[in-house]
Homo-oligomer: A and B are copies of this chain.
Amino acid sequence: MPRNPFINAGALVVADINLAGHEPRVAIGELLRFMRYLADDDTIIIDEAVARAEQATGFRNIALANYMKAFGDIQHAPELTLGVYFHQCAIAMSCRQLAMAGRFLMHGGFYEPGGPRVVSAQRARRINALMLTCGHYDASGDFAFRVGLPGKSGVGGGILAIAPGKAAIAVWSPGLNANGNSLLGTLALERLTEATGWSVFAR
């Protein structure tokens, strides 16, 4: 069963697990509240127009959910799982909100220094490891090679990067390179780690 949430198949499985027999709007609401908490910002919303557009044209994801359903990897009706997935893909955030939401990954799992724990230290390390090895589609290795930070890219042109113990960074620029990652965002992060020495591979 695909379990890696940084690739589409795993993201759908995780959406299906989060659904857990509830109505899609319940699961979506819970996810939205979690993001607002992480970013410390209650103005974060879901862009319904984006969610609807995905639902109308996301044939590849519809195919993927049904294919996994045929293997028993999806528990709910595929259209319900897809409803959760398309809405979580439509959470609209600013760079500041996204960077704030990533703080717990730089703080070893804590919300902030001295704050409550969001996930265990081990889980924070493992999420960072998955982001570094799988966060940039087929160019994940290239991002590790050039930038050297755990990072998750989205087709909207945003990238969240984590420098453990140092920073949570969000960049956004909608022009994508051939691998579907932000072209300028990637270059900006490469220059940032070159200038700061924040690469996890530097001494």
Q: Is A62 part of the contact surface with B, judged by Cβ < 8 Å?
A: yes
10 interchain pairs (CB within 8 A)? A63-B63, A63-B65, A126-B145, A128-B201, A129-B144, A132-B144, A132-B201, A133-B140, A134-B141, A164-B201
Please tell me which stretch of A66-74, A153-161, A179-187 contacts chain B, meaning at least 4 of its Cβ atoms lie within 8 angstroms of it: A66-74
Interface residues of A in 127-159 (CB under 8 A from B): 128-130, 132-134, 140-141, 144-146, 148, 150
Find the B residue at minimum CB distance from A140: B133
Residues of B within 8 A of A22 (CB): none
User: Are B78 and A67 in contact, CB atoms less than 8 angstroms apart?
Assistant: no
In the complex, what distance in Å separates the CA atom of A141 from the CA atom of B126?
Answer: 10
Residues of B within 8 A of A145 (CB): 126, 129-130, 133
User: What's the number of copies of this chain in the assembled complex?
Assistant: 4
Give me the interface of A with B, judged by CB distance under 8 Å: 59-60, 62-67, 69-70, 78, 106-108, 121-122, 124-126, 128-130, 132-134, 140-141, 144-146, 148, 150, 164-165, 194, 199-203
Return A34 CB to nearest CB of chain B, in Å: 21
Residues of B within 8 A of A201 (CB): 124-126, 128-129, 132, 150, 164, 200
Q: Quick one: which of B106, B146, B199 contacts A203, CB cutoff 8 A?
A: B106
In the complex, what distance in Å separates the CA atom of A69 from the CA atom of B60?
Answer: 8
